[in-house]
Structure 1
Amino acid sequence: MARGGKSLILLTQGDPAGIGPEISLKAWLMRKEAGLPPFAILAEPGHLRHLAQSLSWDVPIAETDLSGATSVFNRALPVIPLNLDMGGPVRPGHPDAAHAPAIIASIEKAVRHVQAGEAAALVTNPIAKHVLYEAGFSHPGHTEFLASLAKEPGGTAPHPVMMLWSETLAVVPVTVHIPLKDVPQALTTDLIVTTGRLVARDLQARFGIAHPRLAVAGLNPHAGEHGALGAEDEAIVAPAIEILRKEGIAAEGPLPADTMFHARARKNYDAALAMYHDQALIPIKTIAFDEGVNVTLGLPFIRTSPDHGTAFDIAGKGIARPDSLIAAIKLAARLARGGQP
């Protein structure tokens, strides 16, 4: 729970030309049937009002500050105005680098509010990194930007860990957005240990799991087949698991990734550590494509996000499903309660 007992969940607008704004509107429309807690969005009220009208959705927009957001939530979508020029008209499906300052400002202001205890948790709508890069954005991605904003003056940025979570499976890629050919060089025992520690810590502190169980995938087919299919599993992965065990963390592996994700196997762990991006994301997007949530571990505040992108190809058509955003809002509120459902 945020300081001062605040329970409001704060959303960023994401890329205004993507589906973030419309799934936020739709989530508000579904607030009762989905059992959503009060949430507000940092955005330009005029853009959201125009979008709702263009879709013929009855979503009243209430311009408010954080202190008044909860009280208006049941009758209108609370919008915390950015008070910024959007840099030009917003055309759904047409990303524009002129929108970058507003996109970035929404994230920066939301982080400040959550860090100040004025909201319980942060839910970020999707952004398109290429749009921000055109405007001089210097961070590799959304998560790294959040880590930089979390840095204490004179300190170092925290090490963020990406978890993809659903009610049926939680996965963590140890290496993330790098080419597959670079994974063996990037994968180290220290990186696996650091990731495993953070996952175990946040599963305890935020998800309320007293004794987290980690399943650690091997890098190679059949976890290397005792070295016959690659030396990395014995030389890099197995030593990391041994270190985690000595620290009291229940870690098993290296396990063949092809047998880790069926229903019986999933009962034996709380989170799976995968060695590279697709090894983690293929199973969860197969099992829980619409309900998966991106959770950033290792930050001093709670951050969740829908497990999908901006979907410019369908933006503004009113057909984007809000399931993942709804799941992200509900999980953010759950984590703010210390993992209590």
Structure 2
Amino acid sequence: MGKPVIGITIGDPAGVGPEVTLKAFKNRKMFDMCIPVVIGDINVIKKAATIVGYDSEINLIEDTDQCKEGKLNLLSLDNVDFDYRFGSIQPECGRVAFEYIKTGIELALAGNIDAVVTAPIHKEALNLAGFHYSGHTEIFADLTKTKDYAMMLASEPLKVIHVSTHVSLRKACDMVKQERVYKVIKLAYEGIKGLGVQAPRIAVAGLNPHAGETGLFGDEEIKEIIPAVERAKQEGFNVTGPLPPDTIFLHCKEGKYDIAVVMYHDQGHIPLKLLDFMGGVNITVGLPIIRTSVDHGTAFGKAGKGTADETSMIKAIETAVQFAINRQGD
């Protein structure tokens, strides 16, 4: 079983993606675990290399057969033929960032790379370029024709998976439906298995305060969440809930459960980022390919300065390698 080939899309050139990608591979140990294929543009990478002081050889390739172990392989799309400004929203940057993602997905679907790791994009730049997605997760689902998927965030102290993500809070409440909750419980099982947990213990959060307090503070738990949990139990899943949202994360942090199924974006993001902001990894579960990502944005305020922290990128690559190895072993 050889080293996994990991594709890394550099994200928005005006953000910190190119910098954190190169900074991650200044650590030579990263080459021990994988064969990296950076998907981006040679001009952007050269500029980032100067900023972060990356002076190792970069192997320019046209296809993955030309990859070399121990080298940073670069698949340049040569699509940055314009002047871009660090820390600025630019439609051209949204366009090229989408092209990097599309290429990564195509390579993974073709089996030429074992996983895709994504650096951050700027959603407004993406939409100004004409690509009307709310984020990476939706792009991957659309281009892989995946219907049932979910965003999972993983860190050392906490792992969460979301029933809904990039929608308004009002709409998120409406999306708490039995069928969706049940499917996300199954996706939670799949995601944790991918991290090597053989017998996942799943906790499900309530939507309302005190998980509804038997209907006093809302009936979504009674009508939608409890039936989903019971259905999953009947199918053999080790699942508990709904648990009050104000205590479920403490139980997970203390090791009672392996993952929490949360009902909406901030319910999961806030506790995880509080506990381990730079160590979190974003994983799209349910896809036919492996996709992980840094759990931070373009950080326009740091772009071009060489000060961006590469910890989340390293964790995202490590997680992609772990998933790839576990999938190879299935």
TM-score between the two structures when normalised by the length of structure 2: 0.93
Alpha carbons 1:48, 1:61 under 8 Å: kept: no
The one of 231, 234, 254 equivalent to 1:243 is: 231
The one of 5, 10, 15 equivalent to 1:8 is: 5
Aligned-pair distance for 1:161?
A: 0.6
Cα separation, 2, equivalents of 1:101 and 1:265:
39
Cα separation, 2, equivalents of 1:144 and 1:50:
30
Structure 1 moving runs of 4+ over 3 Å: 33-36, 54-57, 263-266
Most deviating of 123-132 and 89-98: 89-98
Corresponding residue of 2:50: 53
Alpha carbons 1:223, 1:257 under 8 Å: kept: yes
Aligned-pair distance for 1:134?
A: 0.8
Most deviating of 293-302 and 62-71: 62-71
Cα separation, 1, equivalents of 2:21 and 2:252:
35
Corresponding position: 1:209 with 2:197: yes
Q: Secondary structure at the match of 1:146?
A: helix
The one of 159, 164, 185 equivalent to 1:196 is: 185
Output the amino acid matched with 1:27. Answer: A
Corresponding position: 1:185 with 2:174: yes
Corresponding residue of 2:300: 312
TM-score between the two structures when normalised by the length of structure 1: 0.90
Corresponding residue of 2:244: 256
Aligned-pair distance for 1:165?
A: 0.4
Most deviating of 94-103 and 170-179: 94-103
**Distance of aligned partners of 1:33 and 1:299 in 2 relative to their CA distance in 1, 3 Å threshold:** closer
* Root-mean-square deviation (Å): 2.0
Output the amino acid matched with 2:150. Answer: V
The one of 86, 90, 93 equivalent to 2:87 is: 93
Corresponding residue of 1:42: 39
Cα separation, 1, equivalents of 2:206 and 2:187:
19
C-alpha deviations, 1:11-68, integer Å up to 9, x for none?
A: 0110011000000110011232896533121111122112222444424332123223
Corresponding position: 1:229 with 2:217: yes
Aligned-pair distance for 1:217?
A: 0.6
Overall identity of the aligned pairs, in % = 39
Residues 111-150 of structure 1: matches in 2 within 5 Å? 111-150=105-144
Corresponding residue of 1:81: 76
Cα separation, 1, equivalents of 2:74 and 2:65:
12
**Distance of aligned partners of 1:56 and 1:333 in 2 relative to their CA distance in 1, 3 Å threshold:** closer
Corresponding residue of 1:169: 158
Corresponding position: 1:336 with 2:330: no
